[in-house]
Amino acid sequence: MAKPIVAIVGRPNVGKSALFNQLAGKRISIVENIPGVTRDRIYADTEWLNRKFTMIDTGGIDPDNRDQLLQQMKYQAEIAIETADVILFLTDGKEGVTPADRDVAEMLRKSDKPVVLAVNKIDTQEEEANLYEFYNLAIGDPITISAAHKRGIGDMLDKIVENFNQSNLEEEEEDVIKIAVVGKPNAGKSSLVNRILGEERVIVNDIPGTTRDAIDTPFEMDGQKYIIIDTAGIRRKSRINDPLERYGVVRALSAIRRCDVALVVIDATEEATEQDTKIAGLVHEEGKGSILVMNKWDKIEKETNTMKEYRRRLMNELSFMTYAPGIFISAKTGQRVERIMELVRAVYNQCTFRISTGVLNDCLADAIAVNEPPTDRGKRLKILYGTQVSVKPPTFVLFVNDPELMHFSYRRYLENYFRKTFGLEGTPLRIIVREKTK
């Protein structure tokens, strides 16, 4: 199940970005005392009471302002509200309740989402009395905080986490494989979805950005249930000017997070670009199974080893994703499209693959015998034992004498040895190193 999403919303200049940075544990958002500095949502993962969740920082909502930029920011905040599972409504305790606060409160009531009301800038005990005015917003019991001084942050996070169980998180069916189709605009994602489904379910157009939303389509094939998610193309941030297109990016990122297998669609008529690398990187970092789909192969003039050479050049750009199988297709003609679902099932099986502790430790012993662990200043790394702790992706914990001795090159060696032994094609692999305590 995807991590819960918490959207921080409120009118401009109430301290949303300052709070976001405190929760994220680092200075991610720009913080300036000028309304309108935060123009796009910014995502960050954080954790409280062992509950991991994703925060979205948003631009301020000023419903009555006709300024075009502020109207776009309002639209962005509305998207964040729609995407979120819990909403953190931030207000300014020094200024008190404003008409804009009342308008935002009205918008949140209509959203039918759990809302936590936080009154910011309450820096001292004497200012706590400012709290009572905010009951007039009729949106629940307000909590006083100071983002600048970290006052009340724990109580606020307690309230947020309490709402996760009641929030409208999707209950996923265990036997449904979710496939996200992602890539740059105009790479042929919608055409591919239509080919897989065997019908025109998605609008297809040569104009980049035709797909504005992430569209879920359930279907069944050979007794297996699937949900395929067609997403808007993700383009470079500097080129995202249309707020509707930003909406598509949000949904595409959400689709990656909730999918099991991602089809990373690449336009084979072009060489892989920096943006292709970033999209593949998102899939890799989220730990999702992946298949590289080189589309428009019908337009390529073939010679001997054309596929092999293209794959070699592609892996130079996607060196972190050498585990991903690739397939060269034409969504337009249907060439090789029928093989994609076989790959999806195979990759899903690898993502959910479990290795018994005994077999894993036999493999570790073999790996160590072939290539001894490194030493540092006369001290050798000792791997005492390992165990698999989760799937999607397969994640292993290795207990060692000193985690500092685990060089990244030896970690990579072990990953490659696991892949050679168990396969694990198409899925990232996580290795966590911990010190064995007595």
CATH code of the domain covering residue 376: 3.30.300.20
Of the pLDDT bands very low, low, confident and very high (cuts 50, 70, 90), residue 422 is: very high
Residue 143 pLDDT exceeds 90: yes
Residue 240 pLDDT exceeds 50: no
Domain boundary, last residue among 129, 162, 195: 162
Token code pair at residue 57: 């920082």
Residues 363 and 343 in one domain: no
Q: What is the pTM of this model?
A: 0.66
Q: What is the pLDDT of residues 381-390, one digit of tens each?
A: 999 999 999 9
Residue 211 pLDDT exceeds 50: no
CATH code of the domain covering residue 295: 3.40.50.300
Of the pLDDT bands very low, low, confident and very high (cuts 50, 70, 90), residue 308 is: very high
Residues 299 and 212 in one domain: yes
Residue 209 pLDDT exceeds 80: no
Q: Which one, of 198, 179, 266, 186, lies nearest residue 232 by Cα? A: 186
**Range of the structural domain that residue 367 is part of:** 357-435
Q: Does residue 115 lie within any of the structural domains?
A: yes
More confident of the two residues 36 and 46: 46
Residues 290 and 375 in one domain: no
Percent of the chain scored above 70 by pLDDT? 79
Domain boundary, last residue among 102, 135, 162: 162
Q: What is the pLDDT of residues 400-410, one digit of tens each?
A: 999 999 999 99
How many C-beta neighbours within 10 Å does residue 305 have? Answer: 10
- The number of domains in the chain is 3
Q: How many Cα atoms occupy the beta-carbon half-sphere of 259 within 13 Å?
A: 35
Residues 22 and 142 in one domain: yes
More confident of the two residues 299 and 199: 299
Q: Does residue 170 lie within any of the structural domains?
A: no
